[in-house]
Amino acid sequence: MKIFKFLLVVVMSHLFGYASVAQDVDGKAEKVEIKTSAICGMCKDRLEKNIAFEKGVKSVTLNEETKVLTIEFKTGKNSKDKLKKAITKLGYDADDLPADQKAHDRLPACCQKGSEPH
């Protein structure tokens, strides 16, 4: 009986394991590019680390030269508009959306708009 229970657990965990993997493969992802007002490596860190925790986000990378944030997220779990909002709440412009002023003013001076790249 004990061995039966053990086998059952093994079989079940296998089934669930496969199920979750299958979901990941089937789940479509979207990639969006959003132009930000990031300035330096600190901005890059801040944006990447924070946006990574937004819903459904699978990957996020800021191109330091173009200041474009590329975000990959699970389709239906998030949207470009919501992600843009999240970026503005961190104090950065997101495409046409201006940065949240309060969040922007809390950034270190070197990361605020108009600072020289460093």
Binding site for Cu ion (CB under 5 A): 39-40, 42-43, 111
Q: How far is the CB of 46 from Cu ion (least distance, A)?
A: 7
Collapse the DSSP code of 87 into the 3-class scheme (helix H, G, I; strand E, B; otherwise coil) and give the result: helix
- Residue 12: enclosing H or E segment and its boundaries? helix 2-26
Determine the residue with CB nearest Cu ion.
Answer: 111
Q: How far is the CB of 99 from Cu ion (least distance, A)?
A: 13
Q: How far is the CB of 14 from Cu ion (least distance, A)?
A: 47
Residue the block writes with tokens 């495409």: 95
Q: How far is the CB of 93 from Cu ion (least distance, A)?
A: 13
Nearby residues of 13 by Cβ (< 8 Å), 6 or more positions away: none
The residue (of 25 and 109) whose beta carbon lies closer to Cu ion is 109
The residue (of 39 and 83) whose beta carbon lies closer to Cu ion is 39
Collapse the DSSP code of 32 into the 3-class scheme (helix H, G, I; strand E, B; otherwise coil) and give the result: strand
The residue (of 40 and 68) whose beta carbon lies closer to Cu ion is 40
Collapse the DSSP code of 10 into the 3-class scheme (helix H, G, I; strand E, B; otherwise coil) and give the result: helix
